[in-house]
Structure 1
Amino acid sequence: MTSAPDITLKSWLMVALLGLIWGGTFMVQKLALGHMPPFWVAAGRIGFAAVITIAVWQLRGGRMFTTEATDWPRLAFVSIFSAAVPFMFLAWAQQYVTSAFTGVSMAAVALFVLPLAHFFVPGERMTLRRTLGFLIGFSGVVVLIGPAAFASTGSPLEGYGRIACLAAACCYGVSSIVLRKLPPLDPVGLSAATLIFGSFVVIPIAFVQHGLPPMPPLEGLALVALLGLVPTAGANLLRIVVIRSAGPVFMSLTNYQVPLWSVVFGVTLMGEPLPGSMIWATLLILSGVALSQLGALQRLFGSKAT
C-alpha cells in the first residue's frame, strides 16, 4: 500500500538541487550533439550512468529486492519511460526545436502529473489551491521565456521535435506515478535497475539508427561523461528518493525550476542578456510553488495546515 507523502526539509533541498542540475543539462546536451548523433548521446549518457550506479550499488552490498514476479513489468515500464524513451526523444528533438521550447515542455511535466496523481496516488488529491499553484508556476515559466517559447527554428522537422518534447514530458509524468507505486526497494538498487533496463533499450536503437558509435574528440567524451555522471546517475537517484518519499506531485516542482536555472546559466556562463521578465517570472514561479505546497510549508515551519 502506498503511504502518504512525507515532505521534509531534506525533500525541499533535494528538489532545489535537482532543479539546479537539470537546469544546465540541456545546455550540455546541446554541446554534446555537436560531437555525436542524438541516440548515441542518449546511449552514452545512460550507459555511463549505469556503470557508475552499478559500481556504487555493489559497494553497498547489491541490495534491492523483495518484489514479486508481478513487479518486474512495472519496474521495466519505469525504466523505459523514466530514462530510455525521454532521453532519446529529447536528444533527437534538440536538433530541431529551440531551447526555450524544450524548457516550457519540461515545465509541462507538472501538468501531466497532477491529474494522474489525483486518481492513482493516495494523499495527492488535485485540490483547487494546488491546481491554482501549479498553473501560476507554469505561467511564470511562460513569462520567463516569453515569445521565444514558440519561436520557430525553420526546420521542416520542428513540429515533430515539439511533439517529441511533449512526449518526453508525458513519459516523465506517467513513470513518476508508477515509480511511486512500486513496493519498498533500496533506492540505489532501484536506480541501477532503471538505468540497466534503459541501456538495454537505448544502445541497440543507437546501433540500428546510427551504426557503430563514432569516436568523438576528448571534449565530446567529457560532455557525455558529464551528462552520465551528474544529471543522469546522480540526479536519477535523487529523483527516485524524492518520488518514493515526498511523492510525484512534489517532485514535479523541479520542472518549474529548470527554465529558471537555464536562464541563470545562460547569463552567467554564456554571456546571454538578462531577460527583463526574470524578476516577475521568478515571483510567479515561487508563488505557485508556495501555493501548491502550502500545507507542506506550514508543517515544515511548525504551523498547522488549514
Structure 2
Amino acid sequence: MSSISEHKNIWTLNWAILSSLGLIWGGSFLGVEISLIGFGPITVAAGRVTMAALILLVYTCIFGDGLPRFSSKTDKRVWVHCLGMALFTNAMPFSLLSWGQQTVTSGFAGISMALVPLFVLPLSHKFVPSEELSKAKVIGFLFGFLGVVLLIGGEKIFINQSFTPTLLLAQIACVIASCCYAIGTVITKLCPPVSTVSYASCGLMLASFMLIPIALWFEGWPKSPDGLAIMGVVYLALFPTAIATILLTVLIRRAGPSFLSLVNYQVPIWAVVIGVAVLGETLPGHFLIALSIILGGLFVSQFRSFRVSS
C-alpha cells in the first residue's frame, strides 16, 4: 500500500514540475512584451542571458560541478557544443523572438514554438545516428509545415488581409527562432556526457559574451529604462531561463526525456491564454486552427515514444 502511495506522490510531483515548466515557458512571451517597453530587442536578450548565466554559475558552483573542464579532447568537445548551444539555443532565438514580438503578438510567438520538436525530426535523422525518420514522424513534420503555412498565411487566406513586409519578417523571425531551438536541441543530443546545469551555465555565459557587445553597438546603453521593463527582463532571466533549467534537469532525472516532451503541448497553449487574458490580444481563428494542426502533428510524431514510455 505504501509503495502505491509513494508512486502516486512521485507521479503527482512529476506532473507538478511539468506543469510549472509549461506555465513558466508559456509566460516568457509576456515577459518579452513587457521588457520591450523600455529596452531594444537585443538588449532584452543580452540582459536575460547575462543575469541567468550569473544565477546558474552561482548555483552550479555551490550545488553542482561548476563549469565543464577544458583539459581532455572530450572536454574541449563539450565546450564546442556549449558554443553551439549558446548561439542556437540562446543568442539567436532570444534575439529573433524579441525582435519579432515588436510586431507580432505573444500568442503568435508562442504557437511558433510548438514547431520546435517537429523541426528536430529531420535534423535528428540527418545528424543523430540512433534517430530514424519513421512514417509517423514524416506525417507529423508535414502537419507542422501545413501549420506554418496557415499560421503565416492565414491573414491572406481567411480574411484577405495583405502582408506588410514588417509583419511578414517578424513572423518569419519567430519561425526561424524555432528552427534555432531545434538545431540547439540536436547539438545538445550530440554533446558528450556533462552535467545539464554546467552545460546550460556555460552556454548562457558564452551567449552573454556574444550579445552584450552587439546590443551596445546597435542599441547603445539603455537610458532611464522603465521600471516595469526592468522587472520583465529580471523575470525572463530568473524564471524561463535559470529556474526552468534547474527544473528541467530535475524532471529529466526523475521521469526521462519522453515525459518532458509533453511540455511542448503546454507552452503554446499557455502563451495564447496569457496573451489574451493579460495583454488583451485578439486571437484570430486561423491561429487556433494552425495550433491544432501543429499539435496534431506533434502527437502523431511522438505517439510511439509515448506508448513505449507508458
TM-score when normalising by structure 2: 0.76
Checking the alignment, whether the CA contact within 8 Å between 2:57 and 2:67 is kept in structure 1 is no
Q: What is the match of residue 105 of structure 1?
A: 112
Instruction: Give the residue type in structure 2 aligned to 1:90.
Output: L
Shift of the 140–242 alpha-carbon distance from structure 1 to 2, 3 Å rule, reads farther
What secondary structure sits across from 2:202 in the alignment? helix
Alignment of 1:87 with 2:94, yes or no, is: yes
- Percent identity over the alignment is 40
Structure 2: gaps spanning 5 or more residues:
1-9
**Distance in 2 of aligned mates of 1:58 and 1:19:** 27
Alignment of 1:269 with 2:281, yes or no, is: no
Instruction: Give the residue type in structure 2 aligned to 1:48.
Output: M
| 1:202-241 matched pairs, under 5 angstroms | 202-238=211-247
Alignment of 1:21 with 2:24, yes or no, is: yes
Shift of the 98–278 alpha-carbon distance from structure 1 to 2, 3 Å rule, reads closer
Q: What is the match of residue 136 of structure 2?
A: 129
Cα RMSD after superposing both structures: 3.8
| 1:249-268 matched pairs, under 5 angstroms | 254-268=263-277
Shift of the 252–138 alpha-carbon distance from structure 1 to 2, 3 Å rule, reads farther
Checking the alignment, whether the CA contact within 8 Å between 2:35 and 2:229 is kept in structure 1 is yes
| 1:1-306 matched pairs, under 5 angstroms | 16-65=19-68, 67-133=74-140, 135-136=142-143, 147=154, 156-238=165-247, 254-270=263-279, 288-301=297-310
Checking the alignment, whether the CA contact within 8 Å between 1:142 and 1:149 is kept in structure 2 is no
Checking the alignment, whether the CA contact within 8 Å between 1:104 and 1:142 is kept in structure 2 is no
Instruction: Give the residue type in structure 2 aligned to 1:292.
Output: S
Instruction: Give the residue type in structure 1 aligned to 2:112.
Output: S
Instruction: Give the residue type in structure 2 aligned to 1:207.
Output: L
**Distance in 1 of aligned mates of 2:196 and 2:182:** 19
TM-score when normalising by structure 1: 0.77
Checking the alignment, whether the CA contact within 8 Å between 2:116 and 2:178 is kept in structure 1 is yes
Instruction: Give the residue type in structure 2 aligned to 1:94.
Output: Q
**Distance in 2 of aligned mates of 1:149 and 1:269:** 27
1:195-221, Cα deviation, whole Å (9 max, x unpaired) = 100100111111101111233232221
Instruction: Give the residue type in structure 2 aligned to 1:118.
Output: H
Shift of the 84–283 alpha-carbon distance from structure 1 to 2, 3 Å rule, reads closer
Shift of the 123–35 alpha-carbon distance from structure 1 to 2, 3 Å rule, reads same
User: How far is 1:51 from its partner?
Assistant: 1.3
Shift of the 76–291 alpha-carbon distance from structure 1 to 2, 3 Å rule, reads same
Equivalent pairs, count? 293
Q: What is the match of residue 304 of structure 1?
A: none
User: How far is 1:289 from its partner?
Assistant: 4.5
**Distance in 1 of aligned mates of 2:119 and 2:193:** 25
Instruction: Give the residue type in structure 2 aligned to 1:54.
Output: L
Shift of the 33–88 alpha-carbon distance from structure 1 to 2, 3 Å rule, reads same
What secondary structure sits across from 1:125 in the alignment? coil
**Distance in 2 of aligned mates of 1:169 and 1:229:** 21
